[in-house]
């Protein structure tokens, strides 16, 4: 269960996640390792939606498994290096949110290969450099006032969430 203690972690800007969620809704994005083409696709998607996220008065917080300096080299490519981040190399916060290690099907299933082939045609490739736990599954959560208001748990690393719908559903429910 997600509670105040679970959310009592600080970001790279020394802001407490629980307190951020009290101020306004938070889009908490748990990333896979930076060598993953689906992680990079997520970063590209989020980057393209940054003005939409801000216009909804939602705070973006990215969770990754790297040290901040290394993460910033990847996030900078997507203009996300100025956003709040949480470094979780041991994946303890991932686990507290119920994000598990992927099964063979979730990591290497037909959907992963099919979408991966499509990404390769576009020139996006999986990096051979592993930057985090390659078995860790990603996920998204919209937090508000210390509670999870919406979530997207990946069934496959190739799943592509609808970020705007997730946020809009929460905003609609808060009215």
pLDDT value of position 161? 94
Q: Coil, helix or strand for 29?
A: strand
CATH number of 17-174: 3.40.30.10
pTM of the predicted protein model = 0.86
Instruction: Please report where in the chains the tokens 């979530």 appear, as a residue.
Output: 151
pLDDT value of position 5? 84
Q: How far is CA 139 from CA 55, 69, 100, 110, in A?
A: 22, 23, 10, 20
Q: How far is CA 89 from CA 7, 10, 175, in A?
A: 17, 14, 37
Q: pLDDT digit of tens for each residue in the chain (175 aa)?
A: 688 888 899 999 999 999 999 999 999 999 988 877 777 889 999 999 999 999 999 999 999 999 999 999 999 999 999 999 999 999 999 999 999 787 665 665 555 555 665 555 555 544 445 567 777 889 999 999 999 999 999 888 788 899 999 999 988 887 6
Q: Coil, helix or strand for 114?
A: helix
How far apart CA 41 and CA 45 sit, in angstroms, is: 6
CA atoms within 13 A on the CB side of 119: 20
Q: Where are the domains of the chain?
A: 17-174
pLDDT value of position 34? 85
Is residue 60 within 8 Å of residue 160, measured between CB atoms?
no
Is residue 157 within 8 Å of residue 112, measured between CB atoms?
yes
Q: How far is CA 168 from CA 53, 69, 87, 101, 144, in A?
A: 10, 32, 27, 29, 13
Direct distance between the N- and C-terminal alpha carbons of the chain, in angstroms, rounded to an integer: 25
Q: Residue 49: which residues within 8 A CB-CB, separation 6 or more? A: 163, 164
């Amino acid at each position: 269960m997600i509670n105040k203690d679970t959310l009592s972690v600080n970001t790279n800007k020394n802001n407490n996640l629980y307190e951020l969620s009290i101020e306004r809704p938070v889009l908490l994005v748990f990333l896979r390792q930076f060598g993953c083409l689906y992680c990079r696709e997520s970063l590209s998607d989020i980057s393209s939606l940054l003005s939409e996220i801000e216009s909804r008065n939602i705070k973006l917080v990215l969770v990754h498994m790297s040290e901040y300096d290394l993460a910033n080299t990847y996030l900078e490519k997507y203009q996300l290096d100025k956003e709040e981040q949480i470094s979780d190399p041991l994946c303890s916060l991932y686990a507290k949110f119920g994000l598990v290690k992927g099964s063979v099907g979730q990591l290497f299933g037909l959907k992963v290969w099919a979408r991966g082939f499509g990404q390769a045609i576009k020139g996006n490739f999986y990096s051979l450099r592993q930057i985090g736990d390659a078995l860790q599954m990603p996920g998204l959560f919209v937090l508000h006032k210390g509670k999870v208001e919406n979530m997207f748990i990946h069934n496959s690393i190739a799943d592509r969430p609808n970020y705007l719908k997730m946020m809009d559903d929460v905003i609609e429910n808060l009215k």
